[in-house]
Amino acid sequence: MMEAVLITGGARGLGEVLVRAFHGAGWRVAVSDIDGDAAHGLAISLDASGKTALGLALDVRMQTDFEAARDVMLDRWGVVHALVNNAVVTRAQPVLDIAPDDFSAVVEVNLRGTFVGSQVFGRLFKTCGYGRIVNIASLAGQNGGTATGAHYAASKGGIITLTKVFARDLAPFGVAVSAIAPGPLDLPSVRELVPAEALTALTETIPVRQLGDPGFIARTAVHLAGRDAAFANGATWDANGGLFMR
């Protein structure tokens, strides 16, 4: 039986890499994004028939959107096996310049979105007796961030904590929850966020002297979503080139 996964923020950036990795590994993939047209376009490019890919407009702040996505997947495929919480807002601002509303806007997407998605699909997985949730956290949530703002770093730190809570509470029901905490990745979004000279300087601070490979992060997500990943429950997998060691 082909596994089925919902990936949030899946239309571009790391999300698109995740979508392609899961689909390439033989999964049925629901591509969700607040940009529904982009999500549909990517899904069609993978499988125009809709048998192994579908696109969904999804605002991760909205419980009803997650419930609708769940229902569409169940109607189309009859099963859902995994959720990847990837949708993200990334901003870089000095902490004293962040307006409270700006702080809330980032946390609403990154942290609330992970909570709502994990709750909606956690209930489904608990009922089914099986499921996998993989959260995309960040090095910034572990070290306070180097090139990002306090709102981003705080939200990612919160995701690591939520991972532990959901992992503990859902484990008795066959559900494993884990997180990946990447350092700076070689993505257009990173190059847009960090000026070229600053990015070069940042790269020099990484012990391996290079940015991370998004494909490796995606393959790690596929690994953690597998049926043999139960014992990784509650873990945060580091991939930061040696910037943060523990």
Per the structure, the complete domain to which residue 161 belongs is given by 4-184+214-236
For 197, counting Cβ atoms within 10 Å of its Cβ (0-12 exposed, 13-18 middle, 19+ buried), the class is exposed
Q: Where residue 91 falls among pLDDT bands split at 50, 70, 90?
A: confident
pLDDT digits (tens, 9 = 90+) for 183-205: 999 998 888 777 788 788 889 99
List phi, psi (to 5°) of 85.
-85, 100
Q: Which amino acid is at 100?
A: P
Q: Is residue 72 part of a domain?
A: yes
Q: Quote the number of domains for the chain.
A: 1
pTM as predicted: 0.96
Please give the pLDDT value at position 145.
86
CATH number of the structural domain spanning residue 82: 3.40.50.720
Neighbours of 77 (CB within 10 A): 19
Residues annotated catalytic, as ranges: 152
Q: Report if residue 90 sits inside a domain.
A: yes
pLDDT for 7 equals 99
Asked whether residue 146 is assigned to any structural domain, the reply reads yes
Helix (H, G, I), strand (E, B) or coil at 32: strand
Q: What is the pLDDT of residues 103-145, one digit of tens each?
A: 999 999 999 999 999 999 999 999 999 999 999 999 999 999 8
pLDDT at res. 191: 81
pLDDT at 198: 79
Specify if 245 maps to a domain.
Answer: no
Residue 146 has pLDDT above 80, yes or no: no
Specify if 108 maps to a domain.
Answer: yes
Q: What is the pLDDT of residue 173?
A: 98
- Predicted confidence at residue 107, as pLDDT, reads 98
DSSP string of 95-126, one letter each residue: GGG--HHHHHHHHIIIIIHHHHHHHHHHHHHH
Task: Flag whether 143 is in a domain.
Answer: yes
C-alpha 164 chain-centroid distance:
15
What residues are paired with 132 via a beta bridge? 82, 176
76 part of a folded domain: yes
**Residue 196 within a domain:** no
